[in-house]
Structures are given as structure tokens and as C-alpha cells.
Amino acid sequence: MNGAPDILTPMRLVRVIVSVGVFCCCLVGGGQQGAKAPAKTNDSPCGMIYGKDQSLLLCAPPGWILDNKVLAQQGIYATFYRQAFTYDQAEAGATLMYVNVKRKVGAAQTAAAMMKLDATKTKSESPHGVIERAAPIVIPASKGQKSRTVPVQRFLNDYGGGFEAVAYIEDERTVTLIVISSVSKAILGQDYPSFVKLVQSYVAMRG
């Protein structure tokens, strides 16, 4: 991954590397096969990420694009940015959100363990960054599923100026990372309500 094209800021690349390191196998080669073309549900584009161990549904917040192709070669099958921007514009000057699904390979490999490792590694490599717990996000009960509370961790001014939050959704066999990454703290705050809506749209079909 260190030799990958500069399509993501360093913090975003590290977040993916850390995830693969925790679970040994990311679902690109070990189960995450792709995302179906977006469908329209309540005027929001939705897509299903599916693989050997999981199948999940996510819907873009109002005013956002779900792009299932732009980062597919990097194993990211659901990328979100505002309709007012192209992907390049959002990456350079606004906000991206994306989804990364990781397979568990042991009972101890939990969302909490991943959060701790993310925090430890980021603090070691970016000592001036601020790492903090944010308020958890509640996914309402729906479609036969109980409500659930999702932990969120924020990484502020890490790796020379990134502002990011990560929601860690744990299921029986997988942990799904939903990430928002912005170029400034102000823009992160502006777009955070859309991040909450994205997390709340999560439906585990299998996993």
C-alpha cells in the first residue's frame, strides 16, 4: 500500500493499512467482492457491498454521490462525496466518506481492539495529532434489526493536517469501518451530520 498512487491522504492510507494488519486479511482478496450498482431508495442512492462473510447495505445522505468505481482498484467499493464536487475536488478541498470491511480471524479481534490499535499507531506516527472518542452513533431499529450503538473515534490534525472520524461497526464475522475525512476541522464539523446519516443507513444483510 505504501507504493499506491496518491489518491488518498496519508492518514487515509494508514487507516486501511492498520485495518489489514489487525485482521490479517482485508475482504478485497478474502471476501469483499464488490458493490452492486447503486439503486434508488427514498431518493437516496444505495448500494450493497457483498463478499464471503458479509453483505451490507448503505445509502448516501441527501446531496451526496455514492461512487462504487473510483477507488475500486484500492479495494474501496463505496466512496461518497457531495454532488457539488467531482471526486478530485472533494479529495483536494472538501470531504470524502468511504467504507472498508474487515474480516475477523479471532475472537479477540473486535472493534474495540481495532480502535485501540488505530489510536496507538496514529499517536506514534503523528504525535501532534489529537485522538479522541466522539459521541457514539445510534442506528435505529429497522427491517427486523435491533437498534445498535456504534463507537466513533476522531483523529484531528494527524499526519500533517487531516481531520477524520471513524465509526467501527462490529458484526459476528466482520468489522465495518465507515470513515469521514476532511481537509479542515471546520469542514469536518459541517459535514459530520451527513456522516451520522450514512452510519445510520447501515443494514447488515449477512455478517
Q: Read off the pLDDT of residues 29-78 as tens digits, 9 standing for 90 and up.
A: 233 445 444 444 445 788 888 777 678 899 999 999 999 899 988 888 89
Bridge partners of 191?
none
- Within a domain: 62: yes
- Within a domain: 156: yes
pLDDT score, position 200: 96
| Separation of alpha carbons 138 and 42, rounded Å | 21
pLDDT score, position 157: 83
Specify the higher pLDDT residue, 178 or 34: 178
Q: What is the mean pLDDT of residues 182-203?
A: 96
Helix or strand (DSSP H, E) at 142: none
| Separation of alpha carbons 22 and 177, rounded Å | 13
Q: How far is CA 96 from CA 76, 85, 205, 207, in A?
A: 12, 10, 25, 25
Domain count, the chain: 1
Q: Supply the range of the domain harboring residue 113.
A: 10-166+190-206
Instruction: Determine the 3-state secondary structure of 156 from DSSP.
Output: strand
- Within a domain: 177: no
Specify the higher pLDDT residue, 20 or 49: 49
- Within a domain: 35: yes
- Within a domain: 171: no
pLDDT score, position 43: 58
- Within a domain: 25: yes
pTM for this predicted structure: 0.80
